[in-house]
A and B are shown apart, each in its own frame.
Chain A
Amino acid sequence: MTSPSCDWVGERLTWFVGGELGRDEAHVVADHLARCLPCRREAAGLQQARKALVALADESAPGVDEAMFAQLHEDTVAAVERVASEPRQGLGWGGQLPMAARVLWAAAAGLLFWLGWWSVSEPTSNSLLDRDPIPFATGAADGDPSGESGSSRGDRAVPWAGPRATMRPLGQTERWSNELEVEAPAGSGMMGRWQLRSLERFDGPGDPGFEGPATGAPVDPPESSAESPSDPRPGAKPESKSEGEPEAAPGDASGRALGRRK
């Protein structure tokens, strides 16, 4: 075998000083150490430190003797006997009280869950799921009135994602000049978050002719896209529905969103 590099030896020195290296490799390392002073210094340092550590095995601790171990055995057996004499859980008074406590905890947890669920209004016939995202053109800022240049899912405000929710591309920290902010209806909190997650599949309109949501959503649509002075796109208003565009089936939010952009 050719002479190993210092790196190769260095990776094996901890095993060498611990006597854990295979016989062949140990010979190679020993040969290298006989010729290489830096590696020999490294090995000597490791060996000294390890010897000091190993010597700790022989350290006597103050107060540790046979009497202490005899006492420890006695104490340990007594502690185990105490544990063994304790009534098992679920039997007797000692066991019933923890069981009652567990029932109370479960009831309290159930009540809290119900209160939390009740406080979040569920979408009904006027479901948030039926609404379309409000489009707006980020490309407008770049002089592209169609908004094509920025047609990604980040271009769409999400009215149901909670108050003042917007979506931006990852890494986008600054507000866009024409960023749309909308107010989500009260009570859409948890559901809105769920819907926001469902939009992960939504990646904006691929159709240049896309001009807005198909349905006049019964909820008040955000007006800010129209109010935005930097949004010259004429069809950016949510009310501007394309003629002949099929109505999506209610309750199929993702289908609608995907169908919009087809």
Chain B
Amino acid sequence: MRMVLSMPNSFANSAPAGSAGRLRSLRDNAPELPSGLPREVATLAAASEISDAELVRRALAGQDDPFAALVARYQKRAFWIAYHVLGRVEDARDVAQEAFVRLFRSLDRYDWSRSFYTWFYRIVMNLAIDSLRKRKSARGRDLEDHLPMLVDEREHDGPTRLEARERDGLVWQVLDRLDTKFRAVLVLRDIHGLSCREIAPILKVTHATARWRLHRGRIHFRELWERVVERGDGRGPAGGDSEPEAADLENAEEQA
């Protein structure tokens, strides 16, 4: 499997192709495992014939390795979901770790009729949203953290990466202004590629509510995005094939 995140310049390859790679890695049944795992844990985690539920059953039976294998399978997904909700690496780390502790404590309450990842994602999202609500202005400091890197990357990676960074910074600004319930569903759908049917039980809402939040969330995001872009660098969203569309629209407007 291709791991986009681990490649230093992968995100410079820009929008849809790169994002599809990440989305696949997040949704696949065979997730990418962290390096340096003990051999037994790595074997268990990589064994596709051993389901998550089976690992839970073995962990409940008192074995240590199965739970470590669950951690290995899901820690990257937990981290990235928390990161996209919170926008801070340290907070996302804490949430991911706490999610596994809570998972362990409630392992005996696992509903065997439901998928494991839905249950686990719900724990992660609840923790992340709680953390986000405690400090809503999460991105301000991180945007400042990104600034020194922009200078370095301008020297080493050229303008493409810089534009991607700037674009991402604007996206974070928009996400920060977005209501938490819309942000959660946008993160799960548009960044992590889950369907509304998968999102609904994670957020503990109905399918219709998940769809409505996605619909409204995209509209709100678009409004805020245009506002931020106009107020920001004034160059519009960087990169991607959206620029020709915008140019076409301008031409069409002139003709009209």
Which residues of chain B have C-beta atoms less than 8 A from A83's C-beta?
A: 101, 104-105
Residue of A nearest to B72 (CB): A73
Q: Are B11 and A59 in contact (CB under 8 A)?
A: yes
Chain A residue with Cβ nearest B10? A58
Kindly state whether residue A81 has any CB partner on chain B within 8 Å. yes
Kindly list chain B residues whose C-beta atoms are within 8 Å of the C-beta of A80. Answer: 67, 71, 100-101, 104
Residues on B with C-beta less than 8 A from A76 are 71, 75, 96-97, 100-101
Contact A53 B101 (CB under 8 A): no
Tally of contact residues, A, Cβ under 8 A: 44
Q: Tell me whether B146 and A62 are in contact (CB under 8 A).
A: yes
Contact at A69–B79, with CB atoms within 8 Å? yes
A69 (CB) vs chain B CBs: closest residue: B34
A36-44, A187-195, A236-244 - interface stretch = A36-44
* Bound form: Cα–Cα A74–B93 in Å: 12
- Place the interface of chain B in its size category: 35 or more
Are A51 and B36 neighbours in the complex by a CB distance under 8 Å? no
- Whether A66 contacts B252 by the Cβ 8 Å rule is no
Q: Is B155 an interface residue (CB 8 A)?
A: no
Contact in complex: B18, A73 (CB < 8 Å): no
Residue among B75, B171, B245 making CB contact with A44, cutoff 8 Å: B245
The CA of A77 and the CA of B65, in the complex, are separated in Å by 10
A61 touches B89 (CB 8 A): yes
| Residues B97 and A72 in contact, CB atoms below 8 Å apart | yes
Interface residues of A in 72-102 (CB under 8 A from B): 72-77, 79-81, 83-84
- List 10 A-B pairs, minimum CB-CB distance, nearest first: A58-B11, A69-B34, A49-B225, A49-B222, A58-B18, A57-B22, A70-B36, A48-B242, A57-B19, A14-B218
Given contacts A66-B6, A84-B104, list 12 more A-B pairs with CB under 8 A. A37-B253, A46-B219, A49-B218, A51-B242, A52-B170, A54-B15, A56-B171, A58-B14, A72-B79, A73-B68, A76-B97, A76-B101
A–B complex contacts, Cβ < 8 Å, 5 sampled = A48-B237, A54-B191, A66-B34, A73-B37, A77-B71
Chain A residues engaging chain B, CB cutoff 8 angstroms: 14-15, 17-18, 37, 40-41, 44-66, 68-70, 72-77, 79-81, 83-84
